[in-house]
Amino acid sequence: MLPTEEEFDEEDIALYEHHRIAVDKGQSLVRIDKFLTEKVANATRNKVQQAIDNGFVLVNGLPTKSNYKVKPFDDIRVMLPKEPRDTEVIPENISLDIIFEDAYLLVVNKPAGMVAHPAHGNWTGTLVNALVYHFQQLPEMKGNVGRPGLVHRIDKDTSGLLVIAKTEEAMTGLAAQFYHHTIERTYWALVWGDFQENEGTITGHVGRSAKDRKVMDVYPDGSQGKHAVTHWKVLKHLRYVSLIECRLETGRTHQIRAHMKFLGHPLFSDAMYGGDKIRKGTQFSKYKSFVENCFQIMPRQALHAKSLGFVHPITKEKLFFESSLPDDFQGVLERWENYVQFE
């Protein structure tokens, strides 16, 4: 069975084949499940019907049903599960930036560009590949086979702090804190635009977009997705952009990125959510060159997992960690500070 809307997560996107079919003008009326079985290689009728039932087949941007009759000029988008791969993780001697470690857990500072765990298209070079090299017999959460040590994760191109469990007891205790939303997490983000207020809260369900299932949309009426709450405050007003701190009350896929876009403040340089274009500012060529230079310095979303606080699952000690902004983020921030000061 394909994952449901709420079970579907970011890295799982890579586990699916993506197809787009532009129906010919001479196409006769035929059921879409039959049509796709004939058009898509290795697609069985049952697999196609499951994909349709789970909303992974869109006709002209909208979910469809198995008995829909394909019409000329229909635009059909399909996601079908790929063949599963052996879940054995290959140990790799990749250095880790370890902030804290004891016999039960460790806190690492993940660089931007590193995938959290192996998945289709990224079987090597991940954080988990590094973890299984440096640590033996890491526990796995139920339903997370092939992801030893991981209790949570952050996007590939988001930098910052992650806590890793080294024992079953630690994993159970940490997972409970995430489940009950008692983990303290703050992120720093550079976003487009200025804010009229210095702080606020965004409450709005976050769920997979019906038009592009690689991105998340906000559903304020709660009709889709999962309950999500982000508390934000402005750290620096930089005329056309703002440095903000986001404190997560929940932890949904792309939560900050989706919530900030919903507010009209997409993250700077976030191509997936429209932040890789000039959203605010002047039309002067000098300004455009300045922004383009910033995009080149940081060709990824300006998001960093800045702090992480939790109760040690064994010792019950309250732990709190912070990490500095990485060089690309810091460099872009300094350029904006100078621009505001001298331009």
Cα torsion for 291, 294, 299, 301, to the nearest 10°? -80
Strands (E), 209-257: 216-219, 229-238, 241-248
Q: What radius of gyration, in Å, describes the C-alpha atoms of the chain? A: 22
CA distance 267 to 259: 10
Length of the chain: 343
Nearest of 207, 260, 267, 209 to residue 230 by alpha carbon: 260
Residue 188's SS3 state is strand
- As given in the structure block, the two tokens for residue 76 are 């059909």
Q: Which residues are catalytic?
A: 155
Element (H, E) at 245: strand 241-248
